[in-house]
Amino acid sequence: MSNSCFGQKTAKILLVMAQPFIRVPILTAGFALADQLRFDTTYDNASQSLSTVACSNGVNGLLTKGFTTFGSLPTFPNIGGASAVTGFNSPNCGSCWNVTFTNTTTGGSTTLSVLAIDVASGFVVSQEAMDELTDNNAVALGVVNVDSVQVNASVCGL
């Protein structure tokens, strides 16, 4: 004898009916991720050819979209490598990321939109971009923790 007011068959039907309403968290655009960010002065060179990065040519490449050098990109110098770019011609070439650095001393935070053009562990950006993010402390800090969220590519001018 069951203490339930529903029989087994009724409970199964209710579970099946409830399934469309069950919510499972999934990582999607708009979900902030903790990451590390560092700089590489290679990305500060406006005349550097895009043929030197993973997002050069191919269907997803930036050369294919008419850009030729780092300086020709709408967000330059806010460019660099991102872990979302997994290799040559990655579908995440040209993805745009809002990267937020929080100064643990002052509690203030700065957000920068970065265009992903290359492969990296975390984010590797121009020194100028990291200086903007860290109040001119890129060299002193070296590597910082950031929160990142992918945003529409139009935020980065694409």
Distance CA 144, CA 59 (A): 33
Three-class SS state of 48: coil
Torsion angle of C-alpha atoms 129, 91, 148, 98, degrees rounded to 10: 50
pLDDT tens-digit readout, 129-149: 999 999 999 999 999 999 999
Q: Are 148 and 29 in contact (CB under 8 A)?
A: no
Residue 118: inside a domain: yes
CA distances from 54 to 82, 137, 155 (A): 11, 28, 21
pTM: 0.79
> Greatest CA span in the chain, whole angstroms?
80
Residue 69: inside a domain: yes
How remote is the C-alpha of 63 from its chain's centroid? 20
What pLDDT was estimated at residue 34?
Answer: 83
Residue 9: inside a domain: no
Q: Which of 122, 112, 37 is nearest to 83 (CA)?
A: 122
Number of domains the chain is built from: 1
Strand partners, 146: 35, 101
Name the pLDDT band for 31 (thresholds 50, 70, 90). low
Q: Are 50 and 67 in contact (CB under 8 A)?
A: yes
Q: For the chain, how many helices (H) and strands (E)?
A: 3, 6
Q: Are 113 and 78 in contact (CB under 8 A)?
A: yes
Residue 13: inside a domain: no
pLDDT tens-digit readout, 80-137: 999 999 999 999 999 999 999 999 888 899 999 999 999 999 999 999 999 999 999 9
**Mean pLDDT over all residues of the chain?**
85
111 is in which domain, residue-wise? 32-156
Residue 15: inside a domain: no
Q: What's at 137, amino acid-wise?
A: N
CATH number, domain with residue 118: 2.40.40.10
